[in-house]
C-alpha cells in the first residue's frame, strides 16, 4: 500500500489507450476537501505543459484535491496545444470530483514531442473516476499506470505517531539532481500548514531525489507532489513531518536507482570531509556524472584514481593530499595516495552487487549521500533504440 495508506486518499489506474500496448496508462489520486499540497518541479528550461499548468495552479492556492497522471506521452514540446490539453484534463477531473480545476495537478510522462491524445485522456478520466478506491490494489494500479521504461511499480509507506505517509514513483532514466526526478506523488494524513508542507517536501527532496544521479539528464516533466489531507487529526511538528516524508522519499529514490535502465548495481557514494553538506552533495553528484567512474562501477573495479580525477575536474576546492577512498569500508586510498589493503577481500566485497564508496575530500564537517548506478552496455543499447 502506498498513496492510499494515509486516511482520506483514494486512487485508480486505467487503460485509456494512450499506450499501444493496452497497458495501464492513466492514474488518479484523489484527496478529501480541505487538503493542501506542495510540489517541486523540474529545473529543465524546456518544462512540459503539465509542469507549467501545475505550477500555475499551486501559485493560485495550495488547495489540492487530485493529481491526474498519464504515461505514454510526455505532452512536452507541444506548444499551446499541449497547455490546452493539460488544462482540459484538469477541468474534466474537477468536474468529476466537484472541485475547482486549479485544485487539480497534472503530470505526464513518455515520449517528448508527441501530442497528447486528449479524447482518450478525457474519456479515460470519466471512466476511471468511479473506480477510485482506498485499497492497496488501487494504489498499485495507479503506480503501474505511470510506468514507462520501469520494470516494476515503486511504492513506499511510513507509519508515524498517529499519522501515515505513503508514496508512489516512476522513473528509470533521464534522472539527474536539482530537479524533482521523474514523477512522484506522496500523501499524508497529517495536518500541516502549506508552509510547513512545502518545507518538509523540499528538505526531503534535497536528501533523496536530489541525491540521485542515474544519467546526468533532468527530464522535462519531473515533478514531486506532497498532499496532506489532515484526516488523522494529528498535527506534527515540522521536523517530524520532514523526517517521515524524507524516509518515504529515500525509499522511493533507492527503488528508482535499482530499476534504472540497464543498471546492474546501485552505488551509494558517501562524501565526507567537505566544508559543508551542500558542497559534499555537489561533489558526489559531479563525480557520479563521470562515465569513467560509473564504467568502473560496472566492472567492480575499485579504481580510486577515476574518482580523484573526476573530482579534480570540477570547480570544487579540495586538497588532493587529504583525499581518500574506501569501498565497503576497506581503505584503498588515504591522504592522496594508495593505501595498503587486501585486494582479494575488497574484490569479494564489491562483486556481489550493490556497494558503498566513501570519498573523503577534506577534514571539514560536511557530508552527504549520493545514489547512482553503474554504466552498462545495456544502458547504451537501450537508449540508442528507445524513443
Task: For residue range 229-243, list pLDDT tens digits in order.
Answer: 999 999 999 999 999
The residue whose grid cell reads 486516511 is: 7
Residues 194 and 228 in one domain: yes
Candidates 149, 181, 360, 376; catalytic one: 181
Can you give the pLDDT at residue 213? 77
Render pLDDT for 242-283 as a digit per residue (tens, 0 to 9). Answer: 999 999 999 998 898 888 777 788 899 999 999 999 999 999
Residues 228 and 339 in one domain: no
In a domain, residue 330? The reply is: yes
Residues 245 and 97 in one domain: yes
Can you give the pLDDT at residue 180? 38
Which band of pLDDT confidence, cut at 50, 70 and 90, is reported for residue 6? very high
Domain count, the chain: 2
Can you give the pLDDT at residue 343? 86
Residues 179 and 297 in one domain: no
Residues 84 and 207 in one domain: yes
Which band of pLDDT confidence, cut at 50, 70 and 90, is reported for residue 301? confident
Residues 89 and 170 in one domain: yes
Residues 234 and 301 in one domain: no
In a domain, residue 3? The reply is: no
CATH number at residue 330: 3.10.20.340
Can you give the pLDDT at residue 217? 57
* 385 vs 44: which has the higher pLDDT: 44
Mean of per-residue pLDDT scores for the chain: 92
Residues 352 and 376 in one domain: yes
Residues 86 and 129 in one domain: yes
**Any catalytic annotation for residue 314?**
no
**Domain residues for 355?**
266-385
Q: Is the pLDDT of residue 218 over 70?
A: no
Q: Is the pLDDT of residue 298 over 60?
A: yes
Residues 290 and 182 in one domain: no
In a domain, residue 40? The reply is: yes
Q: Is the pLDDT of residue 179 over 60?
A: no
Q: Is the pLDDT of residue 99 over 50?
A: yes
Can you give the pLDDT at residue 181? 46
Q: Is the pLDDT of residue 174 over 50?
A: no
Residues 51 and 126 in one domain: yes
Render pLDDT for 330-384 as a digit per residue (tens, 0 to 9). Answer: 999 999 999 999 888 888 888 778 999 999 999 999 999 998 988 878 777 766 7
Residues 6+ away with beta carbon under 8 Å from 234: 160, 161, 162, 163, 189, 190, 191
Q: What whole-number distance in Å separates Cα of residue 197 and Cα of residue 177? A: 21
CATH number at residue 206: 3.60.70.12
In a domain, residue 333? The reply is: yes
Residues 208 and 148 in one domain: yes
Helix, coil or strand: residue 35? coil
Q: What whole-number distance in Å separates Cα of residue 251 and Cα of residue 6? A: 17
pTM of the model: 0.86
Domain boundary among 258, 275, 293: 258
Q: What whole-number distance in Å separates Cα of residue 242 and Cα of residue 230? A: 15
In a domain, residue 358? The reply is: yes
Continuous H helices in the chain: 49-60, 79-97, 118-128, 136-145, 194-206, 238-258, 277-288, 291-299, 304-312, 343-350, 377-385
Can you give the pLDDT at residue 71? 96
Amino acid at each position: 500500500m502506498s498513496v492510499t495508506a494515509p486516511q482520506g486518499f483514494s486512487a485508480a489506474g486505467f487503460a485509456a489507450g494512450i499506450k499501444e500496448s493496452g497497458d495501464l496508462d492513466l492514474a488518479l489520486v484523489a484527496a478529501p476537501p480541505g487538503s493542501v499540497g506542495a510540489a517541486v518541479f523540474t529545473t529543465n528550461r524546456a518544462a512540459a505543459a503539465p509542469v507549467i499548468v501545475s505550477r500555475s495552479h499551486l501559485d493560485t492556492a495550495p488547495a489540492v484535491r487530485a493529481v491526474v497522471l498519464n504515461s505514454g506521452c510526455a505532452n512536452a514540446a507541444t506548444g499551446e496545444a499541449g497547455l490546452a490539453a493539460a488544462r482540459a484534463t484538469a477541468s474534466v477531473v474537477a468536474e468529476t470530483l466537484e472541485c475547482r480545476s486549479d485544485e487539480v495537478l497534472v503530470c505526464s510522462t513518455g515520449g517528448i514531442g508527441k501530442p497528447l491524445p486528449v479524447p482518450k485522456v478525457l474519456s479515460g478520466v470519466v471512466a476511471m473516476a468511479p473506480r477510485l478506491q482506498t485499497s492497496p490494489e488501487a494504489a498499485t494500479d495507479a503506480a503501474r499506470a505511470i510506468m514507462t521504461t520501469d520494470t516494476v511499480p515503486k511504492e513506499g509507506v511510513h507509519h508515524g505517531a498517529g499519522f501515515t505517509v505513503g508514496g508512489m514513483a516512476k522513473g528509470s532514466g533521464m534522472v539527474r539532481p536539482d530537479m524533482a526526478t521523474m514523477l512522484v506523488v506522496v500523501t499524508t494524513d497529517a495536518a500541516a500548514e502549506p508552509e510547513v508542507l512545502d518545507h518538509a517536501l523540499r528538505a526531503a527532496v534535497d536528501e533523496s531525489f536530489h541525491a540521485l544521479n542515474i544519467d546526468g539528464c533532468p527530464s522535462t516533466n519531473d515533478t514531486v507532489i506532497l498532499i496532506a489531507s489532515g484526516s488523522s487529526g494529528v498535527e506534527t511538528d515540522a521536523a517530524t513531518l520532514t523526517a517521515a516524508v524524507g524516509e518515504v522519499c529515500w525509499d522511493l529514490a533507492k527503488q528508482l536507482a535499482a530499476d534504472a535502465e540497464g543498471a546492474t548495481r546501485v552505488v551509494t557514494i558517501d562524501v565526507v570531509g567537505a566544508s559543508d553538506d551542500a558542497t559534499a552533495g555537489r561533489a558526489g553528484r559531479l563525480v557520479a556524472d563521470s562515465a569513467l567512474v560509473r564504467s568502473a562501477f560496472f566492472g567492480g573495479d575499485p579504481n580510486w584514481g577515476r574518482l580523484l580525477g573526476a573530482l579534480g575536474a570540477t570547480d570544487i576546492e579540495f586538497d588532493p593530499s587529504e583525499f581518500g577512498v574506501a569501498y565497503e569500508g576497506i581503505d584503498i586510498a588515504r591522504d592522496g595516495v594508495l593505501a595498503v589493503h587486501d585486494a582479494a577481500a575488497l574484490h569479494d566485497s564489491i562483486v556481489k552487487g550493490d556497494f558503498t564508496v566513501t570519498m573523503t575530500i577534506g577534514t571539514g564537517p560536511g557530508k552527504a549521500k549520493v545514489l547512482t548506478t553503474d554504466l552498462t552496455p545495456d544502458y547504451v543499447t537501450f537508449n540508442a533504440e528507445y524513443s
